[in-house]
Amino acid sequence: MPVSLSPTLSRKRARGQTYRCASFKLRNNMGAFFSPFISKPDTVSRIMFRVLLALIPGIVLYVWYFGPAILVSLTLASLTALGTEALMLKLRNRPVAPFLKDNSALVTGWLLALSIPPLAPWWLIVVGTAFSIAIAKHLYGGLGNNPFNPAMVGYAVLIISFPMQMTQWFSPRGLGAVELGYLEQLEYIFLGALPPNVTLDAITMASPLDTLKTRLHLDEPIKQIFAMPIYGRLAGQGSEMVSLGFLLGGLYLLAARIISWHVPVAYLATLFITAGIFHLADPSHYAVPLFHWFSGAAILGAFFILTDPVTSPTTYKGKLLYAAGAGLLTYLIRVFGSFPDGVAFATLLMNICVPLIVLYTQPRVFGKKGKRS
């Protein structure tokens, strides 16, 4: 059949090059379209849009408990993401409009913004997002070709390069010594200026995971630590509610079949079981499993970060393995590592394993020998 599909691609250039003809319409030599002539009204753009939509409940609760500064970070991240995406597409000679409309850059920006403290100088989120999009995404070939989750690469770069700014978390409402007004928050983010007589320590605090880690190092009993006002019923005061918001959005993603159950279930189960084993072995030093679920980025990771299709395995078995590995690593990094949260590094470490996992979890093909998967 004389069909010409990207006819003269050399092997080396094939990977990214094909998408240069992203606007191609396939026709055979008689000018006819190919089957199937119908398709599901599903687009990458719509999928990514629904992921953004699913983040809304968590964001609303974030604003409720920590004030509107997060909206500023989200806006900054969105603008940087779109700007960097457009610039990189232009530099790489790709059509800008169809790729900007795919919403994938926005998802990266939002996930990064939600992972870092909102009360950080404006350039922190800008640098992180730009790095995510330019280096972690486009230098690897753009949409669909990046081996590492771009948002988590951005996070890793920021926490290694700017550890101080990355730990200035807002105190939840009613817990800080001083509360900043909205304008004062903006002033701090953009100008770095605090109202007179207010120190940074007065408005920020370490995250619940961080606090637990530091205090455990000081040999404080866990009961006493959890009696501190920053801890709520499940995990951190306020942040536990934000996690519940993300859980709600995640359930929506499951119901809308944007993601499959494999990753969140395997991830949360492994995290729960690992935490459970340690907790049962020594309750005075290891927090209950639910604390690990609802603190830090665990819920966000389970439903939004680890489920990134590009950087996670394509096979069901692979997804289970990948998520289980990430769950285990998250716990180990949180409890025994030097960083307070482990989701980002667990994700990146498991990203490395994806090609291998996919290779060894190939399902049995219809009509071929072997066990039915």
Partner 1 sequence: MRTLYQFNGGIHPPENKEQSTQRGITRAPLSSRLIIPFRQHAGEAAKPVVQAGDHVLKGQLIGMPCGLVSSAVHASTSGTITAIDMQPVAHPSGMPDLCATLIPDGKEEWLPHEAVDYRSSDSAELRQHLRMCGVVGLGGAVFPSDLKLRPLRGHPNKDIGTLILNGAECEPYITCDDMLMRERAAEIVQGAEMLRFMLDAGEVLIGIEDNKPQAITAMRQAVADSGLPFEVVVVPTIYPGGSAKQLIRMLTGLEVPSGKLPTEIGVQCFNVATVYSAYRALAHGEPLLSRIVTITGNVRLPQNLKVLLGTPVQDLVALGEALPDTNHYIMGGPMMGMELASTAVPLVKAGNCIIAASDKLFPPAPPALPCIRCSRCAQACPADLQPMDMFWFSQSREFDKAQQFSLFDCIECGACSYVCPSHIPLVQYFQFAKSEIRAREQDKQAADHARERHEFREYRIEREKQEKAGKLAAREQSIRQSQAAANSGIGPAIQPEIQAAIERARAQAASAEPRNTDNLTPQQRAEIAGVEARRERVRELAKSAVEHTNDHDKN
**Sites of contact with partner 1 (CB under 8 A):** 1-3, 5-6, 9, 11, 14-15, 18-19, 22-26, 28-40, 42-44, 46-47, 98-99, 102, 104, 142-145, 309-310, 314-315, 358, 362-369, 373
Question: Is there a contact between 266 and 324 (Cβ–Cβ < 8 Å)?
Answer: yes
Residues 284, 236: Cα–Cα separation, whole Å: 18
Residue with Cβ nearer partner 1 (109 or 142): 142
Peptide linkage before 36 cis (omega within 30 of 0):
yes
Phi, psi for residue 31 in degrees, rounded to 5: 80, 20
Q: Which burial class, exposed, middle or buried, applies to 300 when counting CB atoms under 10 A from its CB (0-12, 13-18, 19+)?
A: buried
A 10 A CB-CB count for 208 gives 28
Residue with Cβ nearer partner 1 (48 or 180): 48
Residues 233, 246: Cα–Cα separation, whole Å: 17
3-state secondary structure of 362: coil
Residues 125, 192: Cα–Cα separation, whole Å: 14
Contacts of 244 (CB under 8 A, 6+ apart): 61, 294, 299
The candidate with the shortest Cα–Cα distance to 270, out of 248, 293, 286, 291, is 293
Looking up tokens 């603008």, which residue turns up? 79
Residues 105, 140: Cα–Cα separation, whole Å: 14
Q: How far are the Cα atoms of 215, 286, 301, 329, 333 from residue 276, in angstroms, in the given order?
A: 20, 9, 19, 15, 16
The CA dihedral of 248, 283, 229, 237, to the nearest 10 degrees, is: -10
Rounded to 10 deg, the angle between the 343-360 and 150-161 helix axes is: 140
Residues 112, 132: Cα–Cα separation, whole Å: 9
